[in-house]
Structure 1
Amino acid sequence: MSGSARRTAYSALKRGLDIGSSGIALVLLSPIMIVVGVLVAARLGRPVLFAQQRPGLKGKVFRLYKFRTMKNLDLSRGLVTDEQRLTKFGQGLRSTSLDELPTLVNVFRGEMSIVGPRPLLVQYLDRYTPEQARRHDVRPGITGLAQVSGRNSLTWQEKFDLDTEYVDRRSLILDLRILLRTVQTVLRREDISAEGEATAAEFLGSSPRNTQTE
């Protein structure tokens, strides 16, 4: 079997596994999602879900869903920055990855995969170098090689290098290894935020002065 045929077979099998695993997970985890949704409404208010446009395969934009982890923007109460709006409850959701559960809907619909480069912000699209933009040659994932190799402790360039490495090396064996390492990362609650950030600093491009992390 040629390399292109193997890649086509892998993509088809992976998509089937994504549909099956996300569908089963949505059913089995629905009680947990209901409880988390109620807690988010009680602790952070409505809306319960955070929805934001993100670029997916070939840069096509879709709407990503997560549970909210931040309070609403409120100038009168001094809730302006991400650091000010992120609560301990929200940090707990992020550290356990429970905020990611609604993203399974994106996987089921074909906008994402279980494993792949994380979908970043739409405004970053015109800031990538051609090499960095190769991260969009595959569907974005809930977890990926960069997420199990340092997560938000990595620099942007380190993450992009890992993203393109995944694009070049992707296989079911590598996906399985990433999933196993993801479990370890979640249990250890490692590298959730970049130093001094609620999540990560903005990516401003790849000039020498722009060395922020995600």
Structure 2
Amino acid sequence: MQRLTAIFLLVGLSPLLAVLGLVTRISQGSPVLFRQQRSGLGGKLFSIAKFRSMTDRRDANGELLPDEERVTAWGRFLRRSRLDELPGLWSIARGEMAFVGPRPLLPETIASLGERGQERGKVRPGLTGWAQVNGNTLLSLDEKVALDLDYVRNPSLGRDLVILMRTFWVMIGGERRTSVAGSRAKPDLSQHR
């Protein structure tokens, strides 16, 4: 069902995707998409795509400048509105991701999390998730992982619907650290290190 929904969304959103791709190309050059290997269900690797939000600007020694110096104004808009994530619909259509679940992390990050990383991998990673609607970039990695584990351990359609609705509010109003982040994240940390 999710795969079919993602295909319909890709078709329906194709004009928006084309405009976002064109503006990204004009503002940042090629390639339009950023691709990276991520860890999915059961640790299986897949390639995730996002609209690029940074340039490849380098210093005099040829080293990449810090991220904050390479993010463009357009890139900040894409990130804040979460529109940079729309190419992830392809991963849902291919069955590598779900609409809701823990965000896919780099394989080395999953490895560094030990058992917590393995437990996160018991469900398909999502385009949005419990941590993303409870603070996301305002949270530490441990807080995000604790929220992800809470999601994995307590699955429900009702929660998925809440996450989807709150995702739209985050897209419109921006990130806010919620009380859920503080109350649910801390107990899980002591139990699952």
Under a length normalisation based on structure 2, what TM-score does the superposition of the two structures give? 0.86
Aligned residues: 177
Task: Please say if 1:149 is aligned against 2:134.
Answer: yes
> Which residue of 1 is the match for residue 174 of structure 2?
189
> Which residue of 2 is the match for residue 211 of structure 1?
none
8 Å Cα contact 1:132-1:161 kept in structure 2: no
8 Å Cα contact 2:6-2:93 kept in structure 1: yes
Q: Which runs of 5+ in 1 are unaligned?
A: 1-15, 193-205, 207-214
Q: 1:73 to 1:133 in 2, by over 3 A?
A: farther
1:75 deviation in Å?
Answer: 2.8
- Which of 44, 51, 65 lines up with 2:35 in the alignment? 51
1:132 deviation in Å?
Answer: 4.0
Task: Please say if 1:42 is aligned against 2:26.
Answer: yes
1:73 deviation in Å?
Answer: 3.8
SS in 2 for 1:137: coil
1:53-95: per-residue Cα shift (whole Å, max 9, x none)? Answer: 0000011110001110000143349851111110111000111
SS in 2 for 1:102: helix
> Which residue of 2 is the match for residue 161 of structure 1?
146
> Which residue of 2 is the match for residue 171 of structure 1?
156
Matching residue's letter, 1:21: T
Task: Please say if 1:31 is aligned against 2:15.
Answer: yes
SS in 1 for 2:121: helix
Q: CA RMSD in A?
A: 1.8
Matching residue's letter, 2:39: P
Under a length normalisation based on structure 1, what TM-score does the superposition of the two structures give? 0.78
User: Hey, what's the Cα distance between the residues in 1 that align with 2:40 and 2:146?
Assistant: 18
1:21 deviation in Å?
Answer: 1.9
Q: Which runs of 5+ in 2 are unaligned?
A: 178-188
Matching residue's letter, 1:32: L
User: Hey, what's the Cα distance between the residues in 2 that align with 1:78 and 1:54?
Assistant: 24
Regions of 4+ moved over 2 Å? 73-79
Within 5 Å, which residues of 2 pair with 1:76-155?
76=60, 80-155=65-140
